[in-house]
Chain A
Amino acid sequence: MSAMANAVTRERSDGAILVRLRGEVDLSWSQQVRRAVLDAFDAGLAVGIDLADVAYIDSSGIAALVEGLQQGRARGQRFALVAPSAAVRAVLELARLDRVFDIVDTPAALGGTG
């Protein structure tokens, strides 16, 4: 388990908003994550959450992702998880949410079709 610093960044890529999370998503900063996820919809584009560098996620982090899912549906914008790490996939499976989310392998797969 690498001691990766927690970080959230946002970028625009091919007509979509990509929110990149790093580190361990837990209660200590899941509110920030939640905010970043919800704010990403403001541009009216597809939203992708890059989870490739997330070493750990707990239910508060999953809750932020679920809120993103609900927001996307409400606003008719695509919301997808991008390249979730094995640790994230394991928790999604455990929460039986792995089939609920739109999961893509690369940011390019988001398609800027907002």
Chain B
Amino acid sequence: MTAAQPAVVAGAAATPRLRDTGALVFLAELSRALAVSLDLHQTLTQAITRVRDFLEVEGIALFLLDAASQVLECRVSAGPIDVTGMRLAVGQGVVGQTLAQDCTQIVAQAQDDPRLWRGSDEASGFITRSLVCAPLRTAAGPIGVIEIVNRRDGVPFSAADAELLELVAAPAALAINNARLAGELLEQQRLKRELDLARHLQKSLLPRRRRDGFPVLGVNRPAHEMSGDFYDYFELPGGDIGFVIGDIAGKGLDAALLMMRAASLLRWIGKEHPAPALWLARANEELCESAREGRFVCAVVGYCDRAATRVRFANAGFPPVLVLHGGQYRQYLADGPPLGIVREVGFDEHEVALDGGALYAFSDGATDVRGSDGRPIGLAGLRALIERHAQATPKARLRSLLGELRRLHLVDDTTFLLIEAAQAERPELLFTRSLPARAESMRGLRAELRAVFDQQAIEPRLRDELVLAVDEACTNVIRHGYGPDCEGPLTVRATRCAATLTLEIVDEAPAVDPASLRPGTLGECRCGGLGIALIDRIMDDWRIEPAADGRGNRLVLHKHIDSWAGEEAADA
């Protein structure tokens, strides 16, 4: 620890105090007290008082360097004048020079020494006659200075005093440094815990994956702890699905916090179901009011129907939206600037017939990925990746895409939103029966259907409603499809796909005009009107179309079965 020799300024005779019998015992005790200290400030305060008395000096002070400001501040002191809180620049006065030179300074006769900073004495009336300063050394350089002032016996300080002070400085430096490292570690752990919490909260904002043939799918891979990207989707009354994908300019905690705000803002506006362009315009006004300088939000918002046949969307500064249909790409560039920059901007919107195609929206992290040549893969590279996995199911495709991007080296948060008609998880056939289209057939059919629905754990009330819906559908075929003078076959089929029950009623009667089948008004009992009204109330949706071979009609009814959805979730 004696890297630098004490700079002996005045030739005072070295007193052999170090060899006093008590000296080693004292140092050993001091070292131990500092080493096991739990409260460093308190330990140091007690220690310097003991050092002061042991060294028989009038005053003692310990200065610590603030690395950021390069200012030395007195943290503890003992003596006639309390100098705690005194601040000195590195190089200022003897204390400052001790640190700057990382070298013990002895001032035997203070009155004559130009190095002395006299501000303190002038303010306090104390007279500094003689002093010694020793640096508090660590492997990373000096972290402070310990100073003693005026021997009580009036003798100027000597090299022996300096040596003794250096011996005291060593364990003090060690203890302070250890405490600092421990504090930093604690702080790091605390920060990490908070980041983990924030990341958790952020993840919890992303919607849960839906399993029941839901057409919107999203994935988000943050490049760091927190993501500036987000996506969202939600069902609206009437069956449409609202979706959002967004990206906050910048990274880090404040981008992540703005992301949370933008995500909830866009969700709440979307739930009111405004046109996509208006949706963006409203979010823009709100974000312009509150977003900090230089922070903005890029987003695509829109709606699709559950079968993903049509999509309406608008794009604020987000990368182009890709629609892949029949092997052809269509590309939709941003319809306006990012949100939160200029007020009162308008956005255009698009309505696209998806019809079995797929819509991809993705944050720029997906195209900024570096290819093997070290350059971003760009839109062309991403298209090639998408095509390579086009045959996979939507879920598997997104997983593969992210996997490939990660192998290529993700440099930014990466988020995908995919809209595509859910590929049929193979529907499970629950029931099929062909029977003559006669009113007398119905009772037996109803009994069979009840048994099937019971077996599928559909609760009795819903079971009876579903049976009624099938009965009404069949009755309509019997009465109006074939008519009183004609009889033909009728096929009833029930299938289950995830949590959706599909009921099909196929006949060979003359084609029905779907427009003629409308639910009757209440109390109206024109032919078939009430039956259709009942079907309409019981089922989530229904449609009639020409049967597959062009002869007859196919009526398709759908119902989401909540208890099945519960089973699906339990499987997940």
Query: Which residues does A use to contact B, with CB under 8 Å?
Result: 1, 3, 24, 26-28, 56, 58-60, 62-63, 66-67, 87, 90-91, 94-97, 100
Contact = CB atoms under 8 A, between A and B. Distances in A.
Given A26-B475, A59-B531, A1 B522 contact: no
Nearest to B525: A63
A71 to B, nearest CB: 13
Interface stretch (B107-115, B247-255, B354-362, B532-540): B532-540
Contact of B475 (A24, A27, A66, A91): A27
**Most chain A C-beta atoms within 10 Å of own C-beta, residue among B447, B478, B531, B537:** B531
B211 interface: no
Contact of A59 (B443, B475, B523): B475
Interface string B28-64: 0000000000000000000000000000000000000
B468 A1 contact: no
Given A27-B475, A59-B472, A87-B464, 13 more contacts: A26-B439, A27-B442, A56-B446, A58-B531, A59-B475, A59-B534, A60-B475, A94-B468, A94-B534, A94-B537, A95-B530, A95-B533, A95-B534
Interface in B463-510: 464-465, 468, 471-472, 475, 478-479
A91 B478 CA distance: 21
Given A59-B472, A62-B530, A100 B523 contact: yes
B310 interface: no
Contacts of A63: 525, 530
Contacts of A1: 447, 450
Contact of A26 (B464, B471, B537): B471
Nearest to B528: A59
B439 A27 contact: yes
27 contacts: A24-B446, A26-B442, A26-B443, A27-B439, A27-B475, A27-B479, A56-B464, A56-B468, A58-B472, A58-B531, A59-B472, A59-B475, A59-B531, A59-B534, A60-B475, A62-B525, A63-B525, A87-B464, A90-B464, A94-B465, A94-B538, A95-B530, A95-B533, A95-B534, A96-B522, A97-B523, A100-B523
B437 to A, nearest CB: 11
A8 B522 CA distance: 27
A97 B478 CA distance: 25
B20 interface: no
Contacts of A94: 465, 468, 534, 537-538
A94 B446 CA distance: 18
B373 interface: no
A24 B534 contact: no
B530 A28 contact: no
A3 B451 CA distance: 14
B461 interface: yes
Nearest to B532: A59
Contacts of A97: 522-523
B344 interface: no
Contacts of A87: 464
Contacts of A26: 439, 442-443, 471, 475
B522 A58 contact: no
A2 B531 CA distance: 24
Contacts of B447: 1, 3
A50 to B, nearest CB: 20
Interface string B268-302: 00000000000000000000000000000000000
Contacts of B446: 24, 56
Nearest to A1: B450
Interface in B307-365: none
B153 interface: no
A102 B522 CA distance: 16
B522 A67 contact: no
Contact of A28 (B439, B534, B537): B439
B465 A90 contact: yes
Contacts of A28: 439-440, 442-443
**Most chain A C-beta atoms within 10 Å of own C-beta, residue among B439, B478, B522:** B439
A3 B442 CA distance: 13
Interface string B509-549: 00000000000001101000011011001100000000000
Contacts of B522: 95-97, 100
A55 B447 CA distance: 12
Instruction: Pick the 4 closest A-B CB pairs, nearest first.
Output: A28-B439, A27-B439, A59-B531, A59-B530
B436 to A, nearest CB: 13
Contact of A67 (B465, B525, B537): B525
Contacts of A96: 522
A1 B464 CA distance: 11
Contacts of A60: 475, 531
Interface in B452-466: 461, 464-465
Contacts of B461: 90
Nearest to A93: B537
A58 B523 CA distance: 14
A24 B530 contact: no
A1 B444 CA distance: 12
**Most chain B C-beta atoms within 10 Å of own C-beta, residue among A24, A58, A90, A100:** A58
A91 B439 contact: no
**Most chain B C-beta atoms within 10 Å of own C-beta, residue among A62, A95, A96, A97:** A95
B542 to A, nearest CB: 15
A67 B524 CA distance: 10
A58 B534 CA distance: 9
Contacts of B439: 26-28
A66 B523 contact: yes
B481 to A, nearest CB: 13
A83 to B, nearest CB: 19
Interface in B413-466: 439-440, 442-443, 446-447, 450, 461, 464-465
A23 to B, nearest CB: 9
Nearest to A63: B525
A95 B461 CA distance: 15
**Most chain B C-beta atoms within 10 Å of own C-beta, residue among A27, A62, A95:** A27
